[in-house]
A and B are shown apart, each in its own frame.
Chain A
Amino acid sequence: MKVSIAVNGEATEHDVEPRLLLVQYLRDVVGLTGTNIGCDTSSCGACTVHIDGESVKSCTVLAVQADGASVTTIEGLAAKDGELHPMQAAFQANHGLQCGFCTPGMVMAAVSLIQEGRVTDERSVREGLEGNLCRCTGYHNIVQSVLAAAKAGS
Protein backbone atom coordinates (compact mmCIF):
# COMPACT_ATOMS: atom_id res chain seq x y z
CA MET A 1 0.00 0.00 0.00
CA LYS A 2 1.30 3.43 -0.93
CA VAL A 3 1.78 5.87 1.95
CA SER A 4 2.69 9.54 1.89
CA ILE A 5 4.23 10.80 5.10
CA ALA A 6 5.93 14.13 5.63
CA VAL A 7 9.02 13.34 7.67
CA ASN A 8 10.75 16.33 9.18
CA GLY A 9 9.06 18.55 6.64
CA GLU A 10 10.05 16.52 3.61
CA ALA A 11 7.52 14.50 1.66
CA THR A 12 8.19 10.77 1.55
CA GLU A 13 6.18 8.28 -0.46
CA HIS A 14 6.69 4.54 -0.46
CA ASP A 15 4.86 1.34 -1.17
CA VAL A 16 4.82 -0.60 2.12
CA GLU A 17 3.32 -3.71 3.64
CA PRO A 18 0.40 -2.84 5.94
CA ARG A 19 2.23 -4.56 8.79
CA LEU A 20 5.25 -2.25 8.55
CA LEU A 21 5.61 -0.30 11.79
CA LEU A 22 6.18 3.43 11.68
CA VAL A 23 9.53 3.02 13.44
CA GLN A 24 10.66 0.60 10.75
CA TYR A 25 9.45 2.99 8.08
CA LEU A 26 11.54 5.76 9.60
CA ARG A 27 14.65 3.67 10.18
CA ASP A 28 14.69 1.15 7.35
CA VAL A 29 12.76 2.83 4.55
CA VAL A 30 13.54 6.52 5.04
CA GLY A 31 16.94 5.83 6.62
CA LEU A 32 16.61 7.96 9.72
CA THR A 33 18.12 5.84 12.47
CA GLY A 34 18.04 8.42 15.26
CA THR A 35 14.78 6.90 16.48
CA ASN A 36 15.69 3.81 18.48
CA ILE A 37 13.82 0.58 19.01
CA GLY A 38 14.10 -0.37 22.66
CA CYS A 39 11.54 -2.69 24.17
CA ASP A 40 9.38 -2.93 21.04
CA THR A 41 6.34 -3.30 23.32
CA SER A 42 5.31 0.37 23.81
CA SER A 43 6.81 0.44 27.29
CA CYS A 44 10.18 2.14 27.08
CA GLY A 45 9.57 5.18 24.88
CA ALA A 46 12.90 5.01 22.99
CA CYS A 47 10.96 5.12 19.71
CA THR A 48 9.01 8.29 20.58
CA VAL A 49 8.40 10.59 17.63
CA HIS A 50 5.75 13.20 16.93
CA ILE A 51 2.74 12.63 14.69
CA ASP A 52 1.20 16.00 13.87
CA GLY A 53 3.03 17.49 16.82
CA GLU A 54 2.05 14.91 19.44
CA SER A 55 4.36 12.33 20.99
CA VAL A 56 3.65 8.71 20.08
CA LYS A 57 5.50 5.42 20.37
CA SER A 58 6.34 4.59 16.79
CA CYS A 59 6.77 0.88 17.54
CA THR A 60 3.02 0.70 18.13
CA VAL A 61 1.83 2.64 15.10
CA LEU A 62 1.57 1.19 11.63
CA ALA A 63 3.09 3.23 8.85
CA VAL A 64 -0.29 3.07 7.09
CA GLN A 65 -1.88 4.73 10.12
CA ALA A 66 0.48 7.69 9.66
CA ASP A 67 -0.39 8.00 5.96
CA GLY A 68 -0.99 11.68 5.26
CA ALA A 69 0.43 12.80 8.58
CA SER A 70 3.41 14.93 9.45
CA VAL A 71 6.05 13.08 11.47
CA THR A 72 8.93 14.68 13.33
CA THR A 73 11.92 12.66 14.51
CA ILE A 74 14.95 13.63 16.54
CA GLU A 75 16.72 14.49 13.26
CA GLY A 76 14.08 17.12 12.57
CA LEU A 77 14.46 19.13 15.77
CA ALA A 78 17.66 21.08 15.17
CA ALA A 79 17.66 24.06 12.82
CA LYS A 80 18.91 23.61 9.27
CA ASP A 81 22.14 25.40 10.19
CA GLY A 82 22.77 22.86 12.92
CA GLU A 83 21.73 24.99 15.86
CA LEU A 84 20.32 22.65 18.46
CA HIS A 85 16.69 22.76 19.50
CA PRO A 86 16.44 24.32 22.98
CA MET A 87 15.57 20.91 24.43
CA GLN A 88 18.65 19.33 22.86
CA ALA A 89 20.76 22.22 24.12
CA ALA A 90 19.33 21.80 27.60
CA PHE A 91 20.15 18.07 27.60
CA GLN A 92 23.70 18.93 26.53
CA ALA A 93 24.14 21.69 29.11
CA ASN A 94 22.70 19.61 31.96
CA HIS A 95 24.34 16.33 31.02
CA GLY A 96 20.90 14.81 30.54
CA LEU A 97 22.24 11.57 29.14
CA GLN A 98 24.59 8.76 29.96
CA CYS A 99 24.65 6.02 27.32
CA GLY A 100 22.31 8.04 25.11
CA PHE A 101 20.03 5.25 23.96
CA CYS A 102 16.87 6.67 25.51
CA THR A 103 17.80 10.26 24.66
CA PRO A 104 16.01 10.72 21.31
CA GLY A 105 12.79 9.43 22.83
CA MET A 106 13.25 11.45 26.00
CA VAL A 107 13.83 14.63 24.01
CA MET A 108 10.84 14.07 21.74
CA ALA A 109 8.56 13.22 24.68
CA ALA A 110 9.77 16.29 26.58
CA VAL A 111 9.23 18.64 23.64
CA SER A 112 5.65 17.38 23.32
CA LEU A 113 5.09 17.87 27.05
CA ILE A 114 6.24 21.47 26.94
CA GLN A 115 4.23 22.20 23.81
CA GLU A 116 1.15 21.01 25.65
CA GLY A 117 1.94 23.26 28.59
CA ARG A 118 2.27 20.30 30.95
CA VAL A 119 5.60 21.24 32.52
CA THR A 120 5.02 23.20 35.70
CA ASP A 121 7.39 21.66 38.21
CA GLU A 122 9.65 18.69 38.77
CA ARG A 123 6.76 16.36 39.55
CA SER A 124 5.02 17.27 36.30
CA VAL A 125 8.17 16.35 34.38
CA ARG A 126 8.58 13.05 36.19
CA GLU A 127 4.94 12.15 35.59
CA GLY A 128 5.04 13.43 32.03
CA LEU A 129 8.02 11.23 31.21
CA GLU A 130 6.52 8.11 32.79
CA GLY A 131 6.44 6.49 29.37
CA ASN A 132 10.20 6.80 28.86
CA LEU A 133 12.67 4.53 30.58
CA CYS A 134 16.37 5.24 31.08
CA ARG A 135 18.27 2.05 31.78
CA CYS A 136 21.23 4.06 33.08
CA THR A 137 18.73 5.43 35.62
CA GLY A 138 19.95 8.90 34.77
CA TYR A 139 16.61 10.48 35.51
CA HIS A 140 17.86 13.27 37.72
CA ASN A 141 19.70 15.14 35.00
CA ILE A 142 17.03 14.35 32.43
CA VAL A 143 14.44 16.03 34.62
CA GLN A 144 16.79 18.95 35.23
CA SER A 145 17.30 19.28 31.47
CA VAL A 146 13.57 19.44 30.79
CA LEU A 147 13.03 21.96 33.56
CA ALA A 148 15.86 24.08 32.15
CA ALA A 149 14.38 23.93 28.67
CA ALA A 150 10.95 24.87 30.01
CA LYS A 151 12.48 27.80 31.84
CA ALA A 152 14.29 28.87 28.68
CA GLY A 153 10.89 28.96 27.00
CA SER A 154 11.42 26.23 24.46
Chain B
Amino acid sequence: MIPALFDYVRADSADHAIALLTEHGDDAKLLAGGHSLLPLMKLRLATPSVLVDVGRLTDLSYIREDGDQLAIGALTRHHDLEHSDLLGAQAGLLRHAAGQVGDPQVRHRGTIGGSIAHGDPASDLPAVLLALRATLVAQGPSGTREIAVDDFFTGFLETALQPDELLTEIRVPKAPDARWSFQKFNRRAQDWAIVGVACVRNGTTGIGLVNVGSTPLRASAAENAITGGASVADAANVADEGTDPPSDLNASPEYRRHLMKVLVRRALEEAGG
Protein backbone atom coordinates (compact mmCIF):
# COMPACT_ATOMS: atom_id res chain seq x y z
CA MET B 1 0.00 0.00 0.00
CA ILE B 2 1.32 3.39 -0.96
CA PRO B 3 0.42 6.64 0.77
CA ALA B 4 -1.02 9.52 -1.22
CA LEU B 5 1.46 12.08 -2.49
CA PHE B 6 2.86 14.51 0.05
CA ASP B 7 5.71 16.93 0.44
CA TYR B 8 8.37 16.00 2.95
CA VAL B 9 10.27 18.53 5.02
CA ARG B 10 12.83 17.68 7.64
CA ALA B 11 12.87 19.89 10.71
CA ASP B 12 16.28 20.64 12.15
CA SER B 13 15.00 22.10 15.42
CA ALA B 14 11.79 22.43 17.40
CA ASP B 15 11.56 26.08 16.32
CA HIS B 16 11.97 25.05 12.70
CA ALA B 17 9.22 22.46 13.06
CA ILE B 18 6.88 25.06 14.52
CA ALA B 19 7.71 27.51 11.76
CA LEU B 20 6.88 24.82 9.19
CA LEU B 21 3.61 24.03 10.98
CA THR B 22 2.75 27.72 11.04
CA GLU B 23 3.47 27.94 7.34
CA HIS B 24 1.45 24.91 6.31
CA GLY B 25 -1.31 24.92 8.93
CA ASP B 26 -3.86 22.12 8.90
CA ASP B 27 -2.36 20.53 5.79
CA ALA B 28 0.75 19.50 7.68
CA LYS B 29 1.30 16.58 10.02
CA LEU B 30 4.28 15.91 12.23
CA LEU B 31 6.16 12.68 11.61
CA ALA B 32 8.19 11.15 14.45
CA GLY B 33 8.56 7.36 14.43
CA GLY B 34 5.62 7.17 12.07
CA HIS B 35 4.09 4.08 13.60
CA SER B 36 0.70 5.66 14.17
CA LEU B 37 0.65 8.01 11.20
CA LEU B 38 2.12 5.93 8.37
CA PRO B 39 -0.38 3.04 8.71
CA LEU B 40 -3.21 5.58 8.49
CA MET B 41 -1.61 7.19 5.45
CA LYS B 42 -1.13 3.83 3.74
CA LEU B 43 -4.84 3.14 4.21
CA ARG B 44 -5.53 6.70 2.96
CA LEU B 45 -7.37 7.41 6.18
CA ALA B 46 -4.97 10.33 6.58
CA THR B 47 -3.79 12.35 3.59
CA PRO B 48 -1.66 15.22 4.85
CA SER B 49 -0.13 17.25 2.05
CA VAL B 50 3.02 18.03 4.02
CA LEU B 51 4.92 15.83 6.44
CA VAL B 52 7.20 17.64 8.85
CA ASP B 53 9.75 15.08 10.01
CA VAL B 54 10.81 15.74 13.61
CA GLY B 55 12.35 12.29 13.95
CA ARG B 56 15.89 13.65 13.99
CA LEU B 57 15.39 16.10 16.85
CA THR B 58 17.49 13.99 19.18
CA ASP B 59 17.57 16.78 21.76
CA LEU B 60 13.92 15.89 22.42
CA SER B 61 14.87 12.33 23.40
CA TYR B 62 15.66 12.18 27.11
CA ILE B 63 14.46 11.02 30.52
CA ARG B 64 15.69 13.17 33.38
CA GLU B 65 14.86 14.26 36.89
CA ASP B 66 13.52 17.75 37.36
CA GLY B 67 12.69 18.46 40.99
CA ASP B 68 9.85 16.21 42.08
CA GLN B 69 9.04 15.26 38.49
CA LEU B 70 10.48 13.22 35.69
CA ALA B 71 10.79 15.07 32.40
CA ILE B 72 10.55 12.89 29.30
CA GLY B 73 11.32 14.25 25.86
CA ALA B 74 8.53 13.68 23.36
CA LEU B 75 10.88 11.94 20.91
CA THR B 76 11.85 9.28 23.47
CA ARG B 77 11.15 5.89 21.95
CA HIS B 78 9.16 3.15 23.66
CA HIS B 79 12.34 1.07 23.50
CA ASP B 80 14.19 3.71 25.52
CA LEU B 81 11.38 3.97 28.05
CA GLU B 82 11.20 0.23 28.65
CA HIS B 83 14.95 0.06 29.32
CA SER B 84 15.28 3.15 31.50
CA ASP B 85 16.47 2.45 35.04
CA LEU B 86 15.47 5.96 36.07
CA LEU B 87 11.93 5.40 34.83
CA GLY B 88 11.87 2.01 36.53
CA ALA B 89 12.79 3.58 39.85
CA GLN B 90 10.45 6.56 39.68
CA ALA B 91 7.54 5.60 37.40
CA GLY B 92 7.57 1.83 37.07
CA LEU B 93 4.09 1.77 35.54
CA LEU B 94 5.22 3.82 32.55
CA ARG B 95 8.34 1.75 32.01
CA HIS B 96 6.38 -1.49 32.16
CA ALA B 97 3.56 -0.27 29.91
CA ALA B 98 6.01 1.06 27.31
CA GLY B 99 7.33 -2.49 27.05
CA GLN B 100 3.83 -3.72 26.23
CA VAL B 101 3.31 -1.42 23.25
CA GLY B 102 3.25 -3.26 19.93
CA ASP B 103 6.32 -5.42 19.55
CA PRO B 104 10.11 -4.87 19.68
CA GLN B 105 10.27 -3.57 16.11
CA VAL B 106 7.47 -1.08 16.77
CA ARG B 107 9.13 0.00 20.01
CA HIS B 108 12.37 0.69 18.16
CA ARG B 109 10.56 3.36 16.14
CA GLY B 110 7.50 4.58 18.03
CA THR B 111 7.82 7.53 20.42
CA ILE B 112 5.90 8.51 23.53
CA GLY B 113 5.13 11.93 22.07
CA GLY B 114 3.83 10.44 18.86
CA SER B 115 1.62 8.02 20.73
CA ILE B 116 0.17 10.73 22.96
CA ALA B 117 -0.29 13.32 20.21
CA HIS B 118 -2.07 10.72 18.07
CA GLY B 119 -4.73 10.54 20.79
CA ASP B 120 -5.88 7.01 20.03
CA PRO B 121 -8.17 5.69 22.78
CA ALA B 122 -6.84 2.18 22.07
CA SER B 123 -3.22 3.14 22.77
CA ASP B 124 -1.64 2.10 26.04
CA LEU B 125 0.36 5.15 27.05
CA PRO B 126 -2.45 7.75 27.15
CA ALA B 127 -4.21 5.72 29.85
CA VAL B 128 -0.94 5.39 31.74
CA LEU B 129 -0.44 9.15 31.69
CA LEU B 130 -4.00 9.63 32.93
CA ALA B 131 -3.30 7.31 35.85
CA LEU B 132 -0.04 9.12 36.60
CA ARG B 133 -1.68 12.57 36.29
CA ALA B 134 0.96 13.68 33.84
CA THR B 135 1.50 17.15 32.47
CA LEU B 136 2.18 17.72 28.79
CA VAL B 137 4.34 20.53 27.49
CA ALA B 138 3.56 22.00 24.09
CA GLN B 139 5.63 24.52 22.21
CA GLY B 140 4.10 26.93 19.73
CA PRO B 141 5.01 30.17 17.98
CA SER B 142 4.46 32.19 21.15
CA GLY B 143 6.28 29.89 23.56
CA THR B 144 5.48 26.87 25.67
CA ARG B 145 2.42 25.96 27.70
CA GLU B 146 1.57 23.14 30.05
CA ILE B 147 -1.55 21.04 29.55
CA ALA B 148 -2.92 18.73 32.24
CA VAL B 149 -3.44 15.28 30.80
CA ASP B 150 -7.12 15.45 31.78
CA ASP B 151 -7.54 18.38 29.39
CA PHE B 152 -5.48 16.91 26.57
CA PHE B 153 -7.65 14.30 24.85
CA THR B 154 -10.59 16.18 23.34
CA GLY B 155 -12.11 13.72 20.85
CA PHE B 156 -11.42 10.68 18.71
CA LEU B 157 -7.81 11.15 17.54
CA GLU B 158 -8.11 14.78 18.61
CA THR B 159 -6.10 16.59 21.24
CA ALA B 160 -5.74 20.06 22.73
CA LEU B 161 -2.67 20.64 20.57
CA GLN B 162 -3.10 23.49 18.11
CA PRO B 163 -2.09 22.94 14.47
CA ASP B 164 1.07 25.00 15.03
CA GLU B 165 2.08 23.33 18.30
CA LEU B 166 4.64 20.62 18.92
CA LEU B 167 4.39 18.34 21.95
CA THR B 168 7.90 18.56 23.42
CA GLU B 169 7.82 17.01 26.87
CA ILE B 170 5.84 14.74 29.14
CA ARG B 171 6.11 15.28 32.89
CA VAL B 172 5.14 12.71 35.49
CA PRO B 173 5.50 12.92 39.27
CA LYS B 174 8.39 10.99 40.76
CA ALA B 175 6.90 8.23 42.87
CA PRO B 176 9.48 5.62 43.90
CA ASP B 177 7.12 3.97 46.40
CA ALA B 178 4.01 3.88 44.26
CA ARG B 179 2.30 0.54 43.71
CA TRP B 180 0.97 0.02 40.24
CA SER B 181 -0.60 -2.42 37.83
CA PHE B 182 -1.09 -2.56 34.09
CA GLN B 183 -3.74 -4.90 32.78
CA LYS B 184 -3.79 -5.34 29.02
CA PHE B 185 -6.34 -7.80 27.75
CA ASN B 186 -5.95 -8.97 24.19
CA ARG B 187 -6.23 -12.16 22.20
CA ARG B 188 -2.90 -12.03 20.39
CA ALA B 189 0.35 -10.79 21.86
CA GLN B 190 0.89 -7.73 19.71
CA ASP B 191 -2.72 -6.65 19.36
CA TRP B 192 -4.25 -3.49 20.74
CA ALA B 193 -5.90 -3.97 24.11
CA ILE B 194 -9.54 -5.02 23.88
CA VAL B 195 -9.64 -3.24 27.22
CA GLY B 196 -6.68 -2.03 29.21
CA VAL B 197 -6.33 -0.62 32.71
CA ALA B 198 -3.45 1.41 34.11
CA CYS B 199 -3.54 1.86 37.87
CA VAL B 200 -1.18 3.60 40.26
CA ARG B 201 -1.58 3.95 44.02
CA ASN B 202 0.53 6.37 45.97
CA GLY B 203 -1.63 7.86 48.67
CA THR B 204 -4.09 8.71 45.94
CA THR B 205 -5.38 6.32 43.30
CA GLY B 206 -5.17 6.93 39.56
CA ILE B 207 -6.92 4.67 37.04
CA GLY B 208 -6.73 5.13 33.26
CA LEU B 209 -8.74 3.07 30.78
CA VAL B 210 -7.75 1.88 27.31
CA ASN B 211 -10.22 1.44 24.44
CA VAL B 212 -13.49 2.13 26.23
CA GLY B 213 -14.62 5.32 24.52
CA SER B 214 -13.77 7.88 21.88
CA THR B 215 -10.87 9.17 23.98
CA PRO B 216 -8.59 7.67 26.62
CA LEU B 217 -10.64 7.85 29.82
CA ARG B 218 -10.17 8.16 33.55
CA ALA B 219 -12.18 5.77 35.73
CA SER B 220 -13.31 8.64 37.92
CA ALA B 221 -16.11 6.80 39.69
CA ALA B 222 -13.82 3.95 40.71
CA GLU B 223 -11.13 6.39 41.84
CA ASN B 224 -13.63 8.32 43.93
CA ALA B 225 -15.03 5.14 45.42
CA ILE B 226 -11.62 3.98 46.56
CA THR B 227 -10.79 7.44 47.92
CA GLY B 228 -14.09 7.36 49.80
CA GLY B 229 -13.19 4.09 51.47
CA ALA B 230 -15.07 1.62 49.28
CA SER B 231 -13.82 -1.92 48.90
CA VAL B 232 -11.88 -2.94 45.82
CA ALA B 233 -14.86 -4.99 44.64
CA ASP B 234 -17.29 -2.08 45.06
CA ALA B 235 -14.94 0.38 43.38
CA ALA B 236 -14.35 -1.99 40.45
CA ASN B 237 -18.08 -2.38 40.06
CA VAL B 238 -18.44 1.28 39.02
CA ALA B 239 -15.36 1.26 36.77
CA ASP B 240 -17.47 1.56 33.61
CA GLU B 241 -19.35 4.70 34.68
CA GLY B 242 -18.88 7.44 32.14
CA THR B 243 -17.43 5.13 29.49
CA ASP B 244 -18.85 4.48 26.04
CA PRO B 245 -17.14 1.29 24.91
CA PRO B 246 -16.99 0.56 21.20
CA SER B 247 -18.24 -2.49 19.38
CA ASP B 248 -15.88 -4.25 17.01
CA LEU B 249 -14.80 -7.70 15.86
CA ASN B 250 -13.21 -8.43 19.22
CA ALA B 251 -15.92 -7.45 21.64
CA SER B 252 -19.35 -5.95 22.22
CA PRO B 253 -19.84 -2.92 24.48
CA GLU B 254 -21.38 -5.18 27.13
CA TYR B 255 -18.35 -7.44 27.09
CA ARG B 256 -16.03 -4.46 27.41
CA ARG B 257 -18.02 -3.13 30.38
CA HIS B 258 -17.67 -6.48 32.09
CA LEU B 259 -13.99 -6.59 31.26
CA MET B 260 -13.44 -3.13 32.70
CA LYS B 261 -14.82 -4.19 36.04
CA VAL B 262 -12.77 -7.37 36.13
CA LEU B 263 -9.55 -5.68 35.08
CA VAL B 264 -9.97 -2.70 37.40
CA ARG B 265 -10.50 -5.14 40.27
CA ARG B 266 -7.36 -7.04 39.33
CA ALA B 267 -5.42 -3.80 38.92
CA LEU B 268 -6.50 -2.44 42.29
CA GLU B 269 -5.64 -5.73 43.94
CA GLU B 270 -2.23 -5.90 42.32
CA ALA B 271 -1.55 -2.28 43.21
CA GLY B 272 -2.15 -2.90 46.88
CA GLY B 273 -5.85 -3.48 47.48
Of all chain B residues, the one with the shortest Cβ separation from A64 is B8
Give B253 Cβ to nearest chain A Cβ, in Å.
Answer: 25
- Asked if A127 and B189 sit within 8 Å, CB to CB, the answer is yes
- Asked if A45 and B8 sit within 8 Å, CB to CB, the answer is no
Measured between alpha carbons, how far is A18 from B4 in the docked complex, in Å? 10
Of all chain B residues, the one with the shortest Cβ separation from A128 is B104
Measured between alpha carbons, how far is A54 from B41 in the docked complex, in Å? 24
List B1-51 residues whose CB lies under 8 Å from chain A. Answer: 1-8, 10, 31, 34-35, 38-39, 41-42, 51
Measured between alpha carbons, how far is A5 from B5 in the docked complex, in Å? 22
Of the four ranges (under 10, 10 to 19, 20 to 34, 35 or more), the interface on chain B belongs to: 20 to 34
**Which of A60, A118, A128 gathers most chain B CB within 10 Å?**
A60
Known A19-B4, A21-B2, A42-B35: A131·B105 in contact at CB below 8 Å: yes
- Asked if B190 and A130 sit within 8 Å, CB to CB, the answer is yes
Binary flags per residue of A17-56, CB closer than 8 Å to B gives 1, else 0 = 1110100100000000000000011110100100100111
Q: Is the interface of A mostly helix, strand, loop or mixed?
A: mixed
Sample (27) of A-B pairs whose CB atoms are under 8 Å apart: A19-B2, A19-B5, A19-B6, A21-B2, A40-B1, A41-B42, A42-B35, A42-B105, A43-B190, A54-B79, A55-B108, A56-B105, A57-B105, A57-B106, A60-B35, A60-B38, A60-B39, A62-B38, A65-B34, A65-B53, A113-B104, A118-B104, A130-B104, A131-B105, A131-B106, A131-B190, A132-B103
